[in-house]
Amino acid sequence: MQHHNNKKIDAALLGKIVLARFLELPLRAFDRLVTQTESSTGFTALRPWVTVGQLEGAQVAHDAPDIHQTGTPKTQASSVLGAIHETSRGLTFICNRNSYAREYQFDEEGVNHLMSRPDFPAERAGVLRRLRLVNTRNRLTHALIQAVLASQAAYLRSGQVLTLLPLTQAEISVRLRSESNLSVVADPGRISRLVRVLSIALPNGEAVPLGRLFPKPRQVHCHFVDHVIKKEKAWMLQGVLREPLTDEAIAAILEREYGIRLLRRTVANIRHDLAIPDCRSRSQRMNYLAATEGFSALLPLTPQALRTVVPAQPGVYEIRAALGSPANEAGWLEKSAPPGPHSVVYIGSTGDLRKRLGDHLRGSSDNVLLYKHLADGAARVRFRHISDGWRLMEKELYRVFCETFGAPPLCNRMSP
């Protein structure tokens, strides 16, 4: 007689597995599940014992559809949980959908009585289980978001990665279990499953995955090393540096400017992880400073300079806008151009430098954004006369600029 092992899973373990999978549901699938559950006949039959409510302290966008009344959402569920807003009382979080803030209250005595009846339909038992799973997920999500608002406030306000603080999911788990009256066990595994599927919108409108708010110290250090090496390119363009920084010099800057103490070997390892060459290799690579060798001195972009200095000949040119221009107000300087008295906003080429620059200055070059940067009269230009191949030179200059600063000049609407 053949014996079979008992493969029946313990009920408590099965419940944990079901919850783990439920926490991993993408937002759209979660919203759809809530919608379908609340429009089911089983839910309607349970309404005398179930009250539909909202998590205490949770807020929902005013245009969120009331899915338990309409049956189907008026708009497709977003992949973003909600948005952070700055108010007079600090940061607050507003959910995009009613389902993300749902909380069901049960008449436990009545529900237990129903479930004890032998004829209680299995469909209604399934509805009850789903409603309790929704409660668990939403309570844990709400508590997690509130903890993040307190822990990463500087980053959430600015969106700048250098303001992120090291924060592990294990640390948040300990904090939630010790500081809140959360009825759900906030273990790191459950937090990890939620973090993988949630995104939020910052006050500036940028949507970021929730996982970005839980950087390990190594990840934070990577941001700072990358930042210093990007500034290195700007310093070389300005003449502040004659050659790229060594790993030891980078470590010294991190400690002096940001209070981050890293060994030279650690900087080297991080640089390797970021696929950034060492200082010797960086000095040998073509960069924007080398690409603009032979350019004229910077000139004020004025009608007088165009008449007296700029030739009516073919060539390439670079236009810089002064600080305080729309480029700086938009925060673009931090992303692409080297910081300094002026920053590059446009690279171009032409068969007649004087005429083309005059068109830009008068706003007749069909580049509205560029004209806005020239309107205050503080823009400057430098150029290089090239008899043949000036279009190819512009293309190469544009390519090197993008490689050096990580983005094209603000007013170049397309690559040449």
Domains with residue ranges and CATH for the chain: 11-212 (no CATH), 217-285 (1.10.10), 291-405 (3.40.1440.10)
Hey, which residues does 268 pair with through a beta bridge? none
Tokens at 41, concatenated: 């006949």
pLDDT reported for residue 71:
39
Question: Can you give the pLDDT at residue 290?
Answer: 74
Amino acid at 336: S
User: What's residue 99's pLDDT?
Assistant: 95
Residue 323 is classified by DSSP as T
User: Is 409 in a helix, a strand, or coil?
Assistant: coil
> Is-contact 19 186, C-beta < 8 A?
no
pLDDT in tens, 233-281: 778 767 788 889 999 999 999 999 999 999 999 999 999 888 788 888 7
Q: What is the pTM of this model?
A: 0.64
Listed residue (343, 336, 330) closest to 405, CA to CA = 336
Alpha carbon 359 to its chain centroid, in Å, reads 38
- CA dihedral in degrees (273, 279, 281, 284; nearest 10)? 150
The DSSP bridge partners found for residue 54 are: 102
What values do phi and psi take at 321, rounded to 5? Answer: -105, 150
The pLDDT value recorded for residue 129 is 95
What DSSP string runs through 333-373?
A: GGTTSPPSSEEEEEEEEES-HHHHHHHHHHT-SS-HHHHHH
Residue with tokens 């009613």: 98
Question: Which regions in the chain score pLDDT beneath 50?
Answer: 1, 63-77, 323-342
